[in-house]
Structure 1
């Protein structure tokens, strides 16, 4: 079985956390902005939960970034991972 979905969930979580922290927001702050529970943010950040595309748009709105920018970061991180692990695109 491919590790790809697991890796993508982890990259999404890592990216979300990095952007949130860069903006000086707590998980509670972001959760409030997006109308979700703080534990939901936590579960995404640790890679245990995978947000829907709709929820990613909500998260990006709360972070005041474009969803396209978020996905560009996720894609770049995934490419770095793929190159480092020897996977073929």
Structure 2
């Protein structure tokens, strides 16, 4: 497996985007809910920026999901990536 921290960044971004799209929110909508710039959301979603735990909690609040649920999704995707090598 390549660099685990890079893989986790990618998974966080993909998970955030999937939840956002499922809820019918634009990047702009989520950015407004979390009081951040839209470009920050974009950078997370493409895996170029890794949000802090505090910011993940804020993003989850904006998405109206529990951080524990978000981390479970990320963990599940990480385990899949590890198995697929």
**TM over 0.5, shorter chain:** yes
Higher relative contact order (CA 8 A, sep 6+): 2
Q: 1:36-64: per-residue Cα shift (whole Å, max 9, x none)?
A: 00000000000000000000000000000
Residue aligning to 1:74: 74
Given the alignment of the two structures, is residue 48 of structure 1 paired with residue 41 of structure 2, yes or no? no
Q: 1:60-89: per-residue Cα shift (whole Å, max 9, x none)?
A: 00000000000000000000000011xxxx
Deviation of 1:22 (Å): 0.3
C-alpha distance in 2 between matches for 1:27 and 1:44: 11
Aligned residues between the structures: 84
Greater Rg by CA:
1
User: Structure 1: any 5+ residue segments left out of the alignment?
Assistant: none
Aligned residue for 1:65, secondary structure, equals coil
Superposition CA RMSD, Å: 0.6
Residue aligning to 1:39: 39
Q: Taking structure 1 as the reference length, what is the TM-score of the superposition? A: 0.93
